[in-house]
Each structure stands twice: as structure tokens, then as C-alpha cells.
Amino acid sequence: MGALQTRAQDIDLPIREDRFTTLVKDRAEQFPCWRNLMASIADVEPGDPSKHGFHATVRGHDLGKMHIASLRVDAMTYRRTPQIIRRSGIDHWQIVLRQTGTEFGSSSGNVLRSGKGSLDLRSLALPSVWHCSAGELVCVWLKRDNFSALAGRLDAASHKPIQGVTRDILQHFIVTLDRHRSTLTQRQIPAVVDSLTALLGAFIQPTRDAVREAAMPISASRIEIARTYVDAHLATPNLGTEALCRKLGVSRRKLYYLFEHCGGVSKFIRDRRLAACHTALEHTADLRLISTIAYDHGFTDPAHFSRLFRARYGYSPKEARELRLSGEAMQPGVPSSFAQWLLQVRNR
């Protein structure tokens, strides 16, 4: 009984985080340290051989069938030759989300250029050469043996940019996973892996069954895309259904269904505006008039704004400013973990 209880407790613990950085080494030893780490994967050369020192930092998590890591690396060139591929036995697929910097690479006749916000799929089973500037990226590695059912189509989609609405959905899924992965437990890993697998299946083979299987992560990602878009356009007068349909690439009917559990599209936008006003009112350095804050976030009638604010929070905008209610600082409706984010559309 004790062993079973211990095992149950273990699966609810956060997963282990692995870290690596060259910054613990002397400058002259930093690139050799990175080269040794990469030796089984690729031949690497510094982008600027005259530079003294080399910054490379990696933070990763093992998700069983896949790995995820965030990297910050100085400029370099790396090559995967046929000899290295045979020697290493590494033939994973790699999803690369570049957050900063640029990259230029070629593999099997395909030339790929990537920059901030780009997302692409690569096959480590194929020789390739890449020239990278200094930058930050998030990578997900998929073990080939665990995705044999998708192998042919994943190979066909490799070394090509992922574009359109599919890119936005995958990007937001990976960004959110990266943001919350320190909260993941062993118990939650299968749901994460299944969700990303379903998303990939819908991307490379967008059949009705594949899209249906990926419904939950697709909906969660679309809500995240909508939240990001709405937060960036709170002061836009015509922010509404039409703008979100265009951004998400969905029909009005599908949009209404997506936001049904939020109380509808208009309520979702209104709550985001109220949350942004609440944060501004709590900020001690924000000295704008309350009416100005309301106007800057899309409310044109101060009295109507005040009524909505009180109905949402139970106190007036003036009281929020005067009392600086530190306990209410979190924006309502923002998930605090990856599991909460992924499940936010389950109870529609």
C-alpha cells in the first residue's frame, strides 16, 4: 500500500527539468564545450570565429515520446552529414519555432529561410546544413518509432515552412506548452503528447476524422490566438466577430460555438477590456484619468464602463484605484497551468 501511495504521489510531481549552459565555462572553453555536446548530433562551427566566448543555454523536459527545449544560442553553422546520421542513430523529427534571430538551411534540395515567428518541421534522418544568427528558439523532438503511423507524411512535410492558420494553431500550442511546462506532472504528459500528435495529424492529413480528433487542442489554441489578438486591439472600435473570424480563419457559426463556454464573443472581448482596465487601475505609476483608461481600452461611455466594472468585480473603478486591491491583480480567465489551458474548452 505504501509503495502504491508513493507511486501515486510521484506522478503528481513536476517533471524534471534539464539545464545546460556554456556560461559556467571560461570564455576560451565555451565553444569547445558546446561542440562536444553537439558532437553526436552535428558538426558545429562558430558564426564569428573571431568572437571570444560563446553563449549557449538550453532548458529541456523529457515528455516520453517527445522532448521539448528552449534554446538561446550564439551565431553558428551546423551540419548533419550522412556519416553523423549513421553514427548517431538519431532520426527524430524536429519542430522548430524561432522566436528571435534568423536561419538559413538546406536539405534534400529544399531551401528554408526562417525568422522571428517562423515554424517548420525537419527530419534529422536527412543530411542538412544550417547557418544561424544568434537567437532564441523552442524545439520539439519526436521519436520516429513512436510516430510510425505518421512517418511518411511527416517526412513529406519536412524542411518546409508551416504556414497559414495551421501555423498559428501549432505555434500557440507550442508557445503555451513552453510557458507552462514547469507545471506539468507525469500524470499530464500523455494528454500533452496525444494533443500534439492529434494536431500534427490534422496538419499533415486534414481529414474529417483527424480534425475531429484534434478538436480540443485546436480549440484551446484558437482561444489563445483570439486572446492575444484581442489584447493587442482593445482600443479598436470595430473589434468583434468579423475581425476574429478573419484572424482565426473560421465561420461565424464556428466562432460562436468556440466561445459559447465564455458567454459569447462580445462578453469575451468585454471581459478582456475590463481585465486590462483593472490592471491599469492597480498600477501605481499609471496616473491617467479613469475615463481615459476606459477610453484607451475601447469603452466610449464612462458611466456604462463603471457599471460593467462593478458588475464584473464587485467594486467601482474608483475603489479599485484607491484601495490598490493587490489580491485581485491577476487577469481573470487566464489559465495558470498547461492542463488548465488545454481543458478550458472541455465543458462547453
DSSP string for residues in 111-175: EEEE-TT-EEEEETTS-EEEEE-SEEEEEEEE-GGGGGGGHHHHHHHTTEE--HHHHHHHHHHHH
- CATH 1.10.10.60 residue ranges in the chain? 217-343
Residues with Cβ < 8 Å from 28, sequence gap 6 or more? 52, 53
CA dist 124 and 80 (Å) reads 8
- In whole angstroms, give the CA distance from residue 68 to residue 66: 7
Considering only CA atoms, which of 86, 60, 65, 166 is closest in space to residue 121?
166
Q: Where in the chain is the domain with CATH 2.60.120.10?
A: 15-162
Which grid coordinates are listed for 154? Answer: 511527416
CB 117 within 8 A of CB 171: yes
* Domain 15-162 CATH assignment equals 3.40.50.720: no
pLDDT of residue 338: 63
**Is the pLDDT score of 347 beyond 80?**
no
How far apart, in whole angstroms, are the C-alpha atoms of residue 218 and residue 210? Answer: 11
Q: Is the pLDDT of residue 235 over 70?
A: yes
Give the residue from 141, 163, 152 showing the smallest Cα distance to 95: 141
Q: What is the pLDDT of residues 53-62, one digit of tens each?
A: 999 999 999 9
| DSSP per position, 258-279 | HTGGGT-HHHHHHHHHHHHHHH
Supply the pLDDT for residue 146.
85
Top-confidence range, 16-20, 48-52, 131-135, 195-199: 131-135
Q: How confident is the model at residue 36 (pLDDT cuts 50, 70, 90)?
A: very high
Note whether 67 and 32 are within 8 A (CB).
no
Query: Where does the pLDDT of residue 202 fall: very low under 50, low under 70, confident under 90, or very high at 90 and above?
Result: confident
When the pLDDT of each residue in the chain is averaged and rounded to a whole number, the result is: 84
Compute the average pLDDT of residues 279-291. Answer: 86
Tens of pLDDT, residue by residue over 63-87, are 888 899 999 999 999 999 999 998 8
pLDDT digits (tens, 9 = 90+) for 115-126: 998 999 999 999
Cell numbers that stand for 296 in this block: 484607451
* Residues in contact with 329: Cβ distance below 8 Å, sequence separation at least 6, in sequence order: 279, 282
318-344 confidence digits (pLDDT tens): 888 877 644 444 444 456 566 666 655
Q: Positive or negative CA dihedral for 87, 89, 94, 100?
A: negative
Q: What DSSP line would sit under 100-113, residue for residue?
A: SS-EEEEETTEEEE
- Residue 226's CB is within 10 A of a number of other CB atoms, namely 24
Q: Are 88 and 127 in contact (CB under 8 A)?
A: no
pLDDT digits (tens, 9 = 90+) for 217-232: 778 778 878 888 899 9
| CATH code of the region 217-343 | 1.10.10.60
The per-residue pLDDT for 328 is 46
pLDDT over 90 percentage in the chain: 35
Residue 128 has pLDDT above 70, yes or no: yes
Q: Could you read off the pLDDT of 263-281 as tens digits, one per residue?
A: 888 999 999 999 899 988 8
Angle at 99 between CA 97 and CA 105, to 5 degrees: 60
